[in-house]
Every structure is written in C-alpha cells, then in structure tokens.
Structure 1
Amino acid sequence: MTVLLQLIASFIGTISFAIVFDTPKKYYLYCGIIGSIGWGIYLVVLHLTDSLLIATFVSALSLIYMAREASFGLRAPVTIFLICGIFCLVPGLGVYQFAYEFFVGDSLHAAVVLVKVIQIAIAIALGITFGYELPPQCFFAYRRRKKLER
C-alpha cells in the first residue's frame, strides 16, 4: 500500500512541479506519468540492490529515456519532461539535513550527509549523460515519425 501511495505522491508532486516550472498544460499528464514511473523504477531497483546510488542512476537513465521518447513523440523539448520527471530524485531532504547539521554544529555528521548528497547528484548526472548519448534511432517515437515522413 505504501508503494502505491508513493507512486501517487510522485505523480502529484511531479505535476505540481510542472505547474511551478510553467510547463504548458497539455504536458502535465505526461510529466506526471514520467515522474511516477521514474520513482517506481527507483523503488524497484532500491529493493533489489539495496544501493541508493545504483537505484538513482538506473532511475535517472530511465527518466532520460522516457523524456526523450516523449519529446520525439510529442514534438516538444526534452527538458520539459526531464526536469519535471527528475524532481522526485533530487536529494532535497539531504541538502536540508546537511544545512541543519552544519548550523547546529555537528560538522562530522554534516560532512557524511554532504558526501551522500554529492554521490546522489553525481549518479543523477551520470544517468542523464548516458541517456543523452543514446542515438535517436534507439527511440520508438523517432523511428515511427521518420517512417511516417517517408
């Protein structure tokens, strides 16, 4: 039941961020679906591997793939779907915990939290980078559009 609630919350949170990000209204549903699927992949990989970094990397890689697929299919910029979809993976709580521990004076715990936040940020960046390196021919919507243009 908690997984279902997390998926619903990630859907709503992604759409909420899309509204704040000033995404065109016709893409809200797609952004929400992409964000929710990305979070679901994160939860599954985290359950299978117990590694926060691997789960974040795989989820970011799948998010960029879905964002590029939606971009080709809907003829929209990929950043619309990627930035909204990646919202759930960003380690905002970790940044908050780091700032709190730092200002409270627990420098050792703050450093540990900061290292974890940086590792997660690097995993997200690597997943996006590898996803951007995929050629357009890897995407179904791109191939379908090219077939229709012939």
Structure 2
Amino acid sequence: MIIKSIYALFATLGFGVIFNIKGKNLIFASIGGFITWFLYLFSLEISSSNLIALFTASVAAGLYSEVFARILKAPVTIFSICSIIPLVPGGAMYYTMLESIQGNINKFLSTGLDALSSAGAIAAGILLASSITKLILVFNSKKRISSSR
C-alpha cells in the first residue's frame, strides 16, 4: 500500500509540474496525492466498496486542501486538483469510450455508469469538505464579531 502511494506521490508531482506549481506548494500538493491514494487503498480494504473508498478519500483530499491552502496562503484549487488526480477514473472513461466505439451497448452503459458514479463520489466528497470548511469559517467569524461587541 505504501509503495503504491509513493507512486501516486510521483504521479501527482508530475501533474503539479504540468500545472506550473512552484516551490513548497508543489511538495505539499504531491503529499496530498500520496495521502489521498493511501486513504483510498485503506478504505477499499476495509469497505470493499469502490464508491465509499472514493468518497472517503475525496473528503480527506478536500479537508487537506482547505487546511494547507490556509497555512501556505495559496489557492485551494492547487491542492484539491492535485490531491484528486490519483482518484480520477480515467481508465473507466477510456473503456467506456472503447465499448461505445466497438458497439457493445451493455458494456458501454455499465462502464459509463461506473465512471459517472466514481466521478460523482469524488465531487460529493470535495463538496462536503468545502462546505464543512465554509461553515466552520462562518461560525468562527460570527463568534469573533459577537465577542468583540
């Protein structure tokens, strides 16, 4: 599991270079890919459900991105995009298109639904993490405003 996560770290590092991320932001974005893939593999062993593992890993990616964006004073998208790169169902999308071209409608629909549900689980996890962060920030700002009066 650790070796596969190290591969994800290097893959994320490569995407970070393509996205023109510089310095310590590149290092922390790559670490986000490592953590996300490790949590995905760990969740997959525990739950044996791909969607639950993707959702769990993407929530962790979203929380990681929000925290380190504030610590490093950088945009959240730098970390969130790089953190979810290992999770993106590229193979499922490729096989969906391949089955479409070959005319296998049943396999096309099956792999397409799999790719769509995987992407939806990732999006829902990032959305949940972002919403939790926004709620915490709003709650803390209202708390500071009411205590200063």
**TM-score band w.r.t. shorter chain:** 0.7 to 0.9
Look up the match of 1:98.
Answer: 96
CA displacement, residues 15-45 of structure 1 (integer Å, 9 cap, x when unaligned): 1011111112331110111110000000011
Q: Number of matched residues? A: 139
Sequence identity percentage: 29
Partner of 2:51: 53
Moved more, 78-87 or 3-12: 3-12
Unaligned 5+ runs, structure 1: 143-150
Structure 1 residues 33 and 138, CA, compared in 2 at 3 Å: closer, same or farther?
farther
In the alignment, what sits opposite 2:80? 82
- RMSD value, Cα: 1.8
CA distance in 2 between counterparts of 1:109 and 1:5 reads: 32
> Any conservation in 1 of the 2:51–2:118 contact (CA below 8 Å)?
yes
* Corresponding letter in the other structure for 2:118: I
State whether residues 37 and 86 of structure 2, in contact with CA within 8 Å, keep that contact through their aligned partners in structure 1.
yes
Query: Structure 1 length as normaliser, TM-score?
Result: 0.87
* Counterpart residue number, 1:111: 109
Runs of 4+ in 1 over 3 A off after TM superposition: 135-139
Determine which structure has more spread, i.e. the larger CA radius of gyration. Answer: 2
Q: TM-score, normalised by structure 2?
A: 0.87
Unpaired runs of 5+ in structure 2? 141-149
1:98 deviation in Å?
Answer: 0.5
Cα distance in 2, alignment partners of residues 44 and 78 from structure 1 = 25
Could you tell me how far apart the structure 2 residues matched to 1:107 and 1:124 are? 26
